[in-house]
Amino acid sequence: MKIFPAIDLKNGKCVRLYQGEFTSSQIVAEDPLKTALNFAKQGAEYLHMVDLDGALSGNMENLESVNKIIKDLNIPIQLGGGVRSLETIEMLLEKGLSRVILGTAALNNPSLVKKAVKKFEDKIAIGIDARNGFVAVEGWRTSSKIEYIDFAKQMESIGVKTIIYTDISRDGTLSGPNFEATGKLNDLVTCNIIASGGMKCIEDIKKLKKMNMYGAIIGKALYSGDISLEEAIIQGRL
């Protein structure tokens, strides 16, 4: 199982949110590049990034920080937040990004996903952020009437290979991921599922590994010291 340490960008700094509430943002590191390099030094083989400002505005807002990390980091990076067009996807991939994550754009514009998957194949991932089982968009502020499983199946039918699933109510809470919902998704679609939201201890990583998850994203627990990145990587490889 692949372990993705997370960097959420807001105003050029690394922050963590609580249950997706932007008013709850807490700065956990001043320098995103230094943080990314430190993750790599600890053995990270992948990095997960979100442009939170971009998720709200619909445009890439932290591109300067993103560019620095892509340039100086020698491990694969996936990024979401504010990606709404084929041109932006192409620009990010040309800069060296390994995978682009579509969230709001995927729900509002399925034809964009079709075009992107046709052109860039497995370099496109879908982020499904759910509240009470329903997909939320626009920086998690708006809940749709589409159930997360139905949306995942729609994305699967388009040809999407990777889905990042986040239960918003668990995100940033250190209360453990939603194993039931994540496991159900993993059972019902053939896509690679990356679990996200609420990781609190190494036992969570071990359990997700046993559930045959493709990957796990760890954010707040790394910054708080509740999970050792080195140990998580070891467990992911077992």
Question: Among all residues, which ones are annotated catalytic?
Answer: 8, 129
The terminus-to-terminus CA distance of the chain in angstroms comes to: 8
Q: Name the token pair of 167.
A: 């239960």
User: What percent of the chain is helix, strand and coil (3-state, nearest 5)?
Assistant: 40, 30, 30
3-state secondary structure of 181: helix
For residues 25 and 29, what is the distance between their CA atoms, to the nearest angstrom?
12
What are the backbone angles phi and psi of residue 115, rounded to the nearest 5°? -65, -45
DSSP state of 122: G
d(CA 86, CA 96): 16
Judge contact between 99 and 124, C-beta under 8 A: yes
